[in-house]
Amino acid sequence: MSDIENANSFEEFYPLYLAEHQNRVCRRLHFVGSVAVLIILGYALIKSKPLLLILIPIIGYAFAWTGHFFFEHNKPATFKRPLYSFIGDWVMFRDIVVGKLKI
């Protein structure tokens, strides 16, 4: 079992999550995917097009998983800890936006 699977809290999980996102291209792809998700969500809500919401996980995971499989060369944390991974994506996004983490 990996350290990520053994994390007992998000506070324990997040540093391990970041360790699996050291490649800058991978982090950039996560960031672009998150921005795309926010754009799709906003557009779907503003234009009352709920079917577009189906695209959110497809687009978000396509960018992130491309980063992991082709640049980071590891399996996404989503496969091990889906909820913490989802939260980690948005915390990492925030950390990038506020300049705490470089892309």
Q: Domain residues of the chain, as ranges?
A: 3-97
Average pLDDT over residues 49-78: 97
pTM, to two decimals: 0.93
Confidence check: pLDDT of 10 > 80: yes
Average pLDDT over residues 73-79: 95
Specify the pLDDT at position 2: 72
What b/e readout covers 37-63, taking b as 16+ CB neighbours within 10 angstroms? beebeeebeeeeeeeeeebbeebbbeb
Q: Tell me the pLDDT band of 64, cut-offs 50, 70 and 90.
A: very high
Q: How far apart are CA 53 and CA 49, in angstroms?
A: 8
